[in-house]
Structure 1
């Protein structure tokens, strides 16, 4: 788990705390739903990040010719 993923977990724990803290049965407020929506989006992003990406999967190469050469070398 890298630093970004640890920060995501900490932020999700804080959002969970906010969602529980803003819920009160007598007020009729829906602020907890807003926190829950943000939390659920972050949870899906985190699950996708852990399941499908690793540290070496993203390669930044702005030159299209370099990218084309890499792809053509892999296909032949």
Structure 2
């Protein structure tokens, strides 16, 4: 597991505790939703990182001709 994954997961865990600690029934405060929103953003960023940022899984090249040559070379 890469260092950035550990940092992201530990930050998600810490912010989850902060979100649950800031919830108080009956006060009407929505501060916990703000913390939970940060956790959700981090989760989707982490999921994208795990799924698509491997050098063999994701290739971004805005030039269609270069992209076509690279993918055809991988297919053969």
TM-score by length of 2: 0.69
Following TM superposition, where does structure 1 have runs of at least 4 consecutive aligned residues deviating by more than 2 angstroms? 52-58
Unmatched 5+ stretches in structure 2: 59-69
Post-superposition Cα deviations, 1:7-56, rounded to whole Å, max 9, x if no partner, equal 00000001100000000002110000000111101101111111x33453
What's the Cα RMSD here?
A: 2.7
Q: For this pair of structures, how many residues does the alignment match?
A: 75
1:26 counterpart SS class: coil
Map residues 34-49 of structure 1 onto 2, 5 A cutoff: 34-49=34-49
Number of the residue aligned with 2:29: 29
Number of the residue aligned with 1:6: 6
Q: Distance in 1 between matches of 2:8 and 2:38?
A: 12
